[in-house]
Structure 1
Amino acid sequence: MLRLRRRYTVGPRDAPTRKWVIEVSPVVRLELLKESRLRIGWYACKLGDHISVKRCYRCQAFGHVAAVCLRDPVCGFCAAKGHTFRECKREGTPKCANCSVTAEDPNHEAGDLRCPSTRRAMETQIKRTDYGKNDQ
């Protein structure tokens, strides 16, 4: 029998579709990924790994959330210190606070999924995840 544990859902509550993040054993994960879909009743659900990276909406840094942040606010749109994304006038070209520090192309918002800094944080998260490779 397939054993899975529902962790949480992702996406707007009123949307017609949402992501369900489930937890399974490494062996079951490999079997599920061989298929591209999981049939549940009349539904054929797409399958894939879910990579989640914490990004603070206060300072834009990775690894923590705003509720525990002690740093000064940094805007997620213009990368200016002293105000947040909500307070920003959003004029001109966006500038990523993380890529500005790492000398990469900063011409995007901090929350952009194509951001090199976000991609690097996701790769780090993948490396830290135990996929059970040592158990097989």
Structure 2
Amino acid sequence: MSNYIVVGLNEEKFALPITAIQEIIKDMPVTEIPAAMAHVRGVINLRGTIVPVIGLRSKFRMIESAPSAASRIVIVQTPDGEPVGLYVDCVEQVAFFSEILPTPDGIGGANAGYLSGIGKIHDQLVSILHLPAILNTGGGLG
């Protein structure tokens, strides 16, 4: 049992373990990288450190939308300790899940490995993201 940050993507809610988050920053210009994977938006200069930014909408094969005032970049770390930005539509709240249910077996599909469980806030279900799968670098940031 631990705290999570709930983020929004395309009207859906996802949670990231708060312990994995280095910081949350406002949207800023991203420098595109030629021939990068489709979900890699580019890189940012974060206080002298070049940080790649992954667009979670693209990673999850969701329709892209224009950035808004609520768009954020959530800075997390790879297992090697390198910072990576996750581009999200918004950051909603800190949540504590007293119970985390397993991801149903029948979900399948390309995004199945990206979830580590399902939490519940009031009457709404929140998909808990499995960061190691999302950040699986394998030579190209997942």
Sort the TM-score into its range (normalised by shorter chain): under 0.3
RCO (CA 8 Å, sep 6+): is it higher in 1 or 2? 2
Normalized per residue, the structure richer in strand is: 2
- Normalising by structure 2, what TM-score? 0.23
Q: Higher Cα Rg: structure 1 or 2?
A: 1
Q: What is the TM-score normalised by the length of structure 1?
A: 0.24
